[in-house]
Amino acid sequence: METFEALVSAEFAPKTVYLNTASTGLLPARTVTAMRAAVESVAEGAPQDLFADVEAARAAFARLMRVPDRRVAAGASVAVYSGLIATSLPEGAEVLTAEDDFSSLVNPFHMRSDLKVRSVPLERLAESVRPGTRLIAVSAAQSADGRIADLPAIRDAARAHGARTYIDASQAAGWLDLDADAYDYVSSVAYKWQFCPRGVAFLVTPEDLGALTPVFAGWAAGEHPWDSCYGPVEELARSARRFDESPSLFSYAGARHSLELLETLGVDAVRAHDLGLADRFRAGLASLGHEPVPAPGSAIVSVPGLGARQPELSRAGIEVSNRAGRLRASFHLYNTAADVDRLLEALAG
């Protein structure tokens, strides 16, 4: 059986010190090969069954989230799924969010002027649930600085007040231990920590489909899609597939292979690897006199006051992000201790 390191080295060969997975994950070699074959099959007039790739990706994501695949919708954007949930809320419903959470998660709720959207500091989210709160929407890990939401406390507070929970796992799925069955809705793009191509996103719904109205349902949302191409769809899918967007097929042709690799490696092993590197970076920052935003247990490290150094680091072959004046480094399976040390040396210089 191949080791974690052997599997990773066979799939990834970055030419930079790439510490920017929170923006975009790197594609494995197997994914690039599969996408190239899919594109060539269409160019040659003999298209592969790319819809089979969608179903394989859906099933793999469901296994990662510990839910049956009938509860997983396949699409391309968290914003679309946030809009779906927002559209399904009754007039006057209160939606509780964390301050400065990612726009794709929260903005669709603000687009409905008849909803009451209330934002509080992330650390106060659970204690801020109150009678009348209909939905709590929050990222599992914050994009800007890596802070992790207290999801069990949020879940318990929601249950105590009869509210639903909506978790954006885009910055967490792939390294953070998540059980989607504990929440009502879980969405995630897959091009970050699940190292899929752009154009792939998923929504996990409750077993009863969460009282969502499939307002953007097209032919792909039919129980029998190929019999649903003309006129109104006579029968929507009996599963969460009724919330599918018409899929970006070439992206899904690659995604199934990325997700299968993640399954093979195991989220537990990925998490241990990622957090080990993040903690190494935090320790190095302390020796340099820098204090990151407190985000224990996160693979994302955000350092106030250093964001302006991003361009010079990029010129030196070290890829990080500048978020609100903070340097954001994100550590994933294709990174090494040498990558961490290279960044620390550059910052020291």
- How far apart are alpha carbons 8 and 29 in whole angstroms? 10
User: Angle, nearest 10°, between helix axes 103-110 and 78-87?
Assistant: 30
The token duo for 150 is 């207290």
Domains of the chain, each with CATH number or no CATH: 4-28+265-348 (3.90.1150.10), 41-264 (3.40.640.10)
Residues of the chain with pLDDT under 70: 1
Instruction: Tell me the C-alpha to C-alpha distance, in Å, between residue 198 and each of 14, 20, 192.
Output: 18, 15, 9
- The 10s digit of each residue's pLDDT in 230-283 is 999 999 999 999 999 999 999 999 999 999 999 999 999 999 999 999 999 999
- How far apart are alpha carbons 179 and 244 in whole angstroms? 21
- How far apart are alpha carbons 330 and 291 in whole angstroms? 16
Instruction: Tell me the C-alpha to C-alpha distance, in Å, between residue 47 and each of 52, 186, 229, 236, 253.
Output: 12, 32, 20, 27, 12
The token duo for 68 is 């049956």
pLDDT score recorded for residue 239: 98
The answer for residues whose C-beta is within 8 angstroms of residue 142's C-beta and 6 or more apart is 98, 101, 102, 122, 148, 149, 171, 295, 300
pLDDT score recorded for residue 2: 78
